[in-house]
Structure 1
Amino acid sequence: MTVQTVRRPRLAASAPPPQLRRRERNKVSRWQIWVPLGLYLLFTLVPFYWMLVFAFRPRGSSSLLPWPITFDNFATVWNELGFAMFFKNSLMVGAASLIMTTVIALAGGYALARYEFRGKRLFMLGMLCTQFIPGAMMLIPLFEIFRTLGLVNSLWSLVIAETVFQLPLSLILISGFIKNVPVELEQAAWVDGCGRLRAFFAVVLPLLRPALVAVGSFAFIHSWNNFLFALMFVNEQEKFTVPVGLAYTLGEFSVDFGALAAGGVVAAVPVVLVFAVIQRYLVQGMSAGAVKG
């Protein structure tokens, strides 16, 4: 009598639950994201750390920490080297560039978004192509124009140059943002008796806050950090801006690193404050303006 062995079917290996698989994928993705970001953050923050160390530690000290903290370097920069005047000039240029760029880009962006005219695409292409031209190539033509107009050694030359170079990108951003605003909202205001200008200020303009913040912040920061125009178009120390003032802290045979670092901190404070205030609007304005072109 033969005994037959019954083979039991093999059970398939039980797969891990979906939550465990998702958790494992999240662990891998977190490491892949946070490690490069941490290295990049370290690489970015180390120069700022050394700037703060040199700015706040006493002269002659070789400590890796700014202790004891001293403000002598800031007093030297602000009072003896004239950074109070440079700071004022940079604020004036930045504020004027911000206003002019925003107002002109707002008017031009509305026209590009709401009107159709011959050569519109060619005009947009031309504005994009201007972004590939380095500012250094325009120094001699701009200098000749400003010399003819009597604007050399004037802060208005910096304002005009900054506005011209910021307008193409600002026009494209604002026109793309206005295209996202339904034209039916304006038409409803027209039906209620509003003119085009009043409908724009009452309906469209309140919706453009992120775009205006993005355009204005870029115009201010670019004019604040620009060194080349301020160096070439202004030759009196009373009209220097902060970047040119920083360059003049470098001596011919020696460098006061404490004063230079303190000037760098003074120059960085407005930019940091601007980004801290407008960071919630910046990404929204950039992305909304890039959806339609």
Structure 2
Amino acid sequence: MTAQLAEKGTHARVPTPRGPLPPSRPRTPKRERAFDDVPRWQIYVPLGLYLLFTLVPFYWMLLFALRPAGSTSLVPWPMTFAHFDKVWNERSFGVFFQNSMLVGVATLVTTTLVALAGGYALARFDFRIKNGFMLALLCSQFIPGALMLVPLFEIFRELRMINSLGSVIIAETVFQLPLSIILISGFIKNVPVSLEEAAWVDGCSRFRAFRAVVLPLLRPGLIAVGSFAFVHSWNHFLFALMFLSRQDRQTIPVGLNTLIGSDSVDLGALAAGGVVAAVPVVIVFAFIQKWLITGFSAGAVKG
């Protein structure tokens, strides 16, 4: 009897508990757990030192721009805007600002449009010289812009475009296109072709399918490419110095160079001009930072 009960007990079913099971705790990745074990000060102290190292030059520039001439105070008090009035009115920085803005916006638009067309061709079509063309685009990034100043100057002189903002816009666009085409091509490759094929089945043309399906997904990439084209053209000095000799056609980098004399430098006016040159770029990046990070980290499509 005991043996039968023991045998029957071995085959008995274990009763299962009734009711919902308790929720399981999500597992934390090992990398996140490793960072959780790090003391906070080991993260914030290096970041604080880096932030201090980055912001000190900007504070020094603001200090010279806002304190009176001849003052040695480390705090801009009493505050004065005389340096800004001098560079904006007497040094024609209002004209320089308009020229730089026109060059930057025009370069942004032309670079983005041409790079969008070229990137789509590289991403969606196969042709015989595709690999050679990509190699040429990559190799062009190793050519310094200073080597092309004399040939470009001769070309623009024959076209009668010297002292024209169009010459600077064309030169900036040409030098921004290789990298921009490569980046846009990579973003378009991340968009599944099946999305366009589904639009074609619904009766859309290739251009309409691209505009309705692909283009909205490329917004982070387009913002990243356009912002770098704008900043590069805004800060570039050589092309504007070489192709624009008239004062009413010069841009902000060339205008800052005119504040540096052979015997002396007006530090207050130079710092005020630097603030005028830096503020638009800071504002642009402050508004597009989330799109910029998304464009370079996640690509055009998630999942």
TM-score category (smaller protein): 0.7 to 0.9
Aligned to 2:83: 73
Matches within 5 A, 1:120-199: 120-199=130-209
Q: Secondary structure at the match of 1:168?
A: helix
Aligned to 1:249: 259
Distance 1:142 1:32 in 2: 51
Aligned to 1:201: 211
- State the one-letter code of the partner of 2:256: L
Distance 2:39 2:218 in 1: 36
Q: Secondary structure at the match of 2:218?
A: helix
Verify: 1:100 aligned to 2:110, yes or no: yes
What is the CA distance between 1:154 and its match in structure 2?
1.0
**Change beyond 3 A, Cα 1:23–1:103:** closer
- 1:98–1:219 contact (8 Å) kept in structure 2: yes
- State the one-letter code of the partner of 1:130: S
TM-score (ref. length: structure 1): 0.88
**Superposition RMSD in Å:** 2.0
TM-score (ref. length: structure 2): 0.85
Distance 1:65 1:89 in 2: 33
What is the CA distance between 1:173 and its match in structure 2?
0.8
Matches within 5 A, 1:224-239: 224-239=234-249
- 1:51–1:264 contact (8 Å) kept in structure 2: yes
Distance 1:46 1:279 in 2: 22
Aligned to 1:266: 276
Q: Which residue, out of 250, 253, 271, partners 1:240? A: 250
Verify: 1:286 aligned to 2:275, yes or no: no
**Change beyond 3 A, Cα 1:259–1:206:** same
- 1:85–1:238 contact (8 Å) kept in structure 2: yes
What is the CA distance between 1:68 and its match in structure 2?
1.3
Distance 2:296 2:170 in 1: 24
Aligned residues: 271
- 1:173–1:290 contact (8 Å) kept in structure 2: no
- State the one-letter code of the partner of 1:209: R
- State the one-letter code of the partner of 1:76: K
What is the CA distance between 1:131 and its match in structure 2?
0.9
What is the CA distance between 1:289 and its match in structure 2?
4.9
Q: What is the CA deviation profile of residues 86-144 of structure 1, one whole-angstrom value per residue up to 9, with x for unaligned ones?
A: 00000000011001000000011110110011121111111011111111111111111
Distance 2:35 2:132 in 1: 48
Q: Which residue, out of 44, 49, 63, partners 2:54? A: 44
Give structure 1 stretches of 5+ with no counterpart: 1-21
Distance 1:135 1:127 in 2: 15
- 1:175–1:289 contact (8 Å) kept in structure 2: no
Q: Secondary structure at the match of 1:281?
A: helix
Distance 1:238 1:256 in 2: 21
**Change beyond 3 A, Cα 1:248–1:280:** same
